[in-house]
Structure 1
């Protein structure tokens, strides 16, 4: 089965510098990033190997992944805004 990859490098290729910087400087971002990657790996593994799983379970996992991605995206945007408008 073909599986679309949802790692942040594929999702936000234009934001790689901010992702790397945040991973090294923001513990909350790193924690969310690690959780997102673990969950993405689980979902992709289930889909790729066509493993039996309850539809509600996989949907809950995907909803959680979307929430994590949204949280990460907002942290990236805030970081980039701070880079453009540094405090004096």
Structure 2
């Protein structure tokens, strides 16, 4: 368990510039990144005991975050025409 919030640019340092570009140019990517950020903040609050939550709900949030992260990674690494 980490008490440092995840950040897309920190999770994918090789794609930091592309993350910024896609947030500005791709509405779907920007929406997914914002959802990732929101869920990530909530997980961080749970991890730091600022927001009590039962284990099942916390695990569900972590799964949602992982799915979003996978989807964001797929968008980051897709080839552009």
TM-score by length of 1: 0.83
Task: Spell out structure 1 runs of 4+ moving beyond 4 A.
Answer: none
Residue 29 of structure 1 contacts residue 72 of structure 1 at CA under 8 Å; is this kept in 2? Answer: yes
Distance in 1 between the 2:18 and 2:52 partners?
Answer: 37
Counterpart in the other structure of 1:66? 66
Report the number of matched residues: 81
- SS of the residue 1:17 aligns to: helix
Higher RCO structure (Cα 8 Å, ≥6 apart): 1
Residue 13 (structure 1) aligns with: 13
Aligned ranges 1:1-88 → 2 under 5 Å: 3-49=3-49, 51-78=51-78, 81-82=79-80, 86=81
70 and 2 in structure 1: CA distance in 2 versus 1, 3 angstrom threshold: closer
Q: Distance in 2 between matches of 1:68 and 1:2?
A: 19
Aligned-CA RMSD value:
1.7
